[in-house]
Amino acid sequence: MTGPSLNIDELVEHWTVLDEERDLIAGKRGATRLAFVLLLKYYTRHGRFPRRSELADEAIEHVARQVKIPVSELGLYEWTGRTIEYHRSQIRAHLGFRVCSVVDAEKLTDWPAANVAHAERRVDRVRAELLKHCRGEKIEPPASGRIGRIVRSALHGAEEAWSMRIAAQVDAGATAWPSARRSEAEPR
């Protein structure tokens, strides 16, 4: 794991095990305990679960010291299967999040077009706002590929709406101009 480098302030703020989290991790041992806390702390900060490569070495070491598990134990954790799915479910329940349903995904598809894409054209900014919206609604965002499609769709829809508004203004101006010229030419 290498992930982005973190400073001491970030480690303390985002990767310190809180008292209310201790009951949640109490029955877990070894690699399971270490991985669970890493999943929990990452989800708390980002509103989604990390890929293994997204965990910074400093964060792993900081958490390992707190839970008194050697960093080397993390290699024993199964990143697929029933155990991690159960851990994810526990973390979502603890934080009050839910998995993105089909209805949620439909609403998320409409949200950026109506609230962001009309004013922001950069894909990364629209994506960041969509992820922020998901966190605010306590919805675990859909997979990265789905997020990308939602953002592209929102930007495309905003672009089409903008084009239609311009075309309507041009049409209105084009039809108003000849009638204005005729009325000027008519005798008074």
**For the chain, domain boundaries:** 8-96, 99-185
Q: For position 63, what pLDDT does the model report? A: 97
Q: For position 167, what pLDDT does the model report? A: 77
Handedness of CA 58, 60, 65, 71 (dihedral sign): negative
pTM for this structure? 0.76
Q: What are the residue ranges in the chain where pLDDT is below 70? A: 1-3, 161, 171-188
Q: For position 174, what pLDDT does the model report? A: 61
